[in-house]
Amino acid sequence: MAPNHIDAGKLDERVKVLAFTEQSPGVWTWKQVRATWAKVELSTRHNVWSVHGIGATGVTMTMRRQDLRLANALEWRGQHCFVTAIEPMGRSHLTVSAALVALAQCEDKVAGIKFPASLTEKYLGHEQLEPYATNVLRHVLVTPKAIQLKPGQLVEVDGTAWPVTLAHTLDLWHNEYEIERTVDL
Tens digits of residue pLDDT in 131-162: 666 777 888 999 999 999 999 999 999 999 99
Q: Select, from the ranges 6-10, 58-62, 132-136, 181-185, the one with the highest average predicted confidence (pLDDT).
A: 58-62
Ranges for all domains in the chain classified under CATH 2.40.10.270: 11-101
Q: Which residues contact 24 (CB under 8 A, 6 or more apart)?
A: none
Q: Could you tell me if 43 and 59 are in contact, meaning their C-beta atoms sit under 8 angstroms apart?
A: yes
Least Cα distance to 73 among 177, 174, 175 occurs for 174
| pLDDT band (50, 70, 90) for residue 1 | very low
Q: In whole angstroms, what is the distance from residue 137 CA to residue 139 CA?
A: 7
Name, in order, each residue with C-beta under 8 angstroms of 108's C-beta and a sequence gap of 6 or more.
Answer: 149, 153, 154, 155, 156
pLDDT band at 62 (very low <50, low <70, confident <90, very high): very high
- The long-range contacts involving 135-140, CB below 8 angstroms and separated by at least 24 positions, are 135/182, 135/183, 135/185, 136/180, 136/181, 136/182, 137/180, 137/181, 137/182, 137/183, 138/178, 138/179, 138/180, 139/53, 139/178, 139/179, 139/180, 140/50, 140/52, 140/53, 140/176, 140/177, 140/178, 140/179
Comparing 14 with 184, the larger pLDDT belongs to 14
Pairing relation of β-strands 27-47 and 56-64? Answer: antiparallel
For 10, the 3-state DSSP assignment is helix
Q: Which CATH code, of 1.10.10.10, 3.40.50.1100, 3.20.20.30, 2.40.10.270, is assigned to 11-101?
A: 2.40.10.270
**What's the whole-model pTM score?**
0.84
Whole-angstrom distance, CA of residue 39 vs CA of residue 58 = 14
CA terminus-to-terminus distance, the chain: 53
Share of the chain above pLDDT 70, in %: 82
